[in-house]
Structure 1
Amino acid sequence: MSVERPITDAVFDFCGVLVDWQSHCALDGHVDAALVARICAPDDPYGFFRYEDLMDGGMRLDDVLPIVERDHGADIAAIYRYYIEHYGDALPATVDGMPQLLKDLKHASVHVWGLTNWADETFHFAFERFPELAELLEGTVVSGTERLHKPQEAIYRLAEERFSLEPETTVFVDDTAKNIAGAQALGWHGIHFTDAASTRAALRALGAAI
């Protein structure tokens, strides 16, 4: 693959791309194991992922808790509060190979940025647990802070303005197809993340000297 203009800016999602997110890790040992399994199941019967999505869009914990209690009762609401207050425990590690990839991009004079659907109240855990990411990334747009949400056009436009991005020389790396499609609709390049090695190869194909 050849490109007319090599990429100058790479924008990265967080959970599943830069940071390993394992929701059960915040509850293991504090909540009955069978209940943890149900809470963290793909069909999410207690709605934790939906409530997180509300917070990712800008709602505060104190606003979401009454909704949880209405839907599932006080006991589940208390568990959700614990989960959010101990969210850092759900972030056991960075994704293999990704900090080095960020370093290599910066060494190749490619700017690296973050763009994440993440609650304003819990995002601080990411940089507290992994300060290296805070040092490597030149800036991050957080959906819950901006009250915007991928794949809404406005959040990509905000990143363009804030980071002085040119769509044709910008690539977005995410593990969710609809979020990549949202960036591509605005002229960005897109990489569907599966692992660091394939992402590195795709970035090379876009002209990054890594």
Structure 2
Amino acid sequence: MSEHITIADAVAARADGAPVTDVVFDFCGVLLDWNTRACLQGRFPDETVDRICADDDPCGFFRYEDRMDAGEDFDAIWPDVVREQGERIAAIFRYYIGHYGDALPRMLPGMEALLADLRRAGYGVWGLTNWSHETFHIAFERFPSIERLLGGTVVSGVEKLHKPDAAIYRLAERRFGLTPARTVFFDDTARNVEGARAVGWHAFRFVTAERARADLASLGVVLD
């Protein structure tokens, strides 16, 4: 679909179903650039950083972080990190969690403007993220405009619920007063997009802010 959607096109799309009233955003990979390498590069040997950041997660950083996102405390996970990875890698993991803000170098291009435009047009704008309760505060401290622009955020580590489980989407519905057929969700992870679709939300895999605007327009969302 063309990214140049006219108002007439949008009205026609809206007529095909319930009008969108609310848009929900994941954080890392959607609102924020999450970059583990940015936190570690230059502080530890390049070959070690390459191994930690490899797609198959041989040092378990992303697996351990996923446990934190699901609600486990760092101190509860730490003995497993030491036993499974050894003291040297475990110490790097501790550094990473302790300097987590360095892994969040920027908001992704165009996303602050998209949130602002949605709010200005009268849509509800919300957050739904898999993130540890121990480090989530860093997002709002480093990027206060996100907290200002979102009407509220459901954080997995606080709730001890985890995307793509249906329960966390249902919690967001109750907390924010969402109607599934009128709600759009953006996430950079395919299984989380499918989880949202499974509970009746519109959902798109996030690529860029420009593509998100086109996806929204395809559902009849009109922005200036």
- The TM-score by the shorter chain falls in which range? over 0.9
Structure 2 residue identity aligned to 1:169: R
Which structure 1 residue ranges, 5 or more long, are not aligned? none
Return the alpha-carbon distance in structure 2 between the equivalents of residues 155 and 39 of structure 1: 29
Q: Deviations over 1:26-72 (max 9, x none)?
A: 11222112101110111111110000010010011101110000101
Structure 2 residue identity aligned to 1:166: T
Structure 2 length-normalised TM: 0.92
Other-structure match for 2:36? 23
Return the alpha-carbon distance in structure 2 between the equivalents of residues 204 and 103 of structure 1: 16
Residue 19 of structure 1 deviates from its aligned partner by 0.2
Secondary structure in structure 2 of the residue aligned to 1:197: helix
2:199 to 180, 183, 186: 186
Other-structure match for 2:121? 108
Other-structure match for 1:154? 167
Return the alpha-carbon distance in structure 2 between the equivalents of residues 26 and 125 of structure 1: 14
Check conservation: 1:119, 1:143, Cα contact below 8 A.
Answer: yes
Identity of aligned residues (%): 58
Where do 4+ consecutive residues of structure 1 move more than 3 Å? none
Secondary structure in structure 2 of the residue aligned to 1:49: helix
Structure 1 length-normalised TM: 0.97
Return the alpha-carbon distance in structure 2 between the equivalents of residues 75 and 122 of structure 1: 22
Q: Is 1:129 the equivalent of 2:142?
A: yes
Q: Provide the aligned length of Structure 1 versus Structure 2.
A: 210
Other-structure match for 1:64? 77
Q: Considering only CA atoms, is the larger Rg found in Structure 1 or Structure 2?
A: 2
Other-structure match for 1:83? 96
Residue 21 of structure 1 deviates from its aligned partner by 0.6
Which structure 2 residue ranges, 5 or more long, are not aligned? 1-11
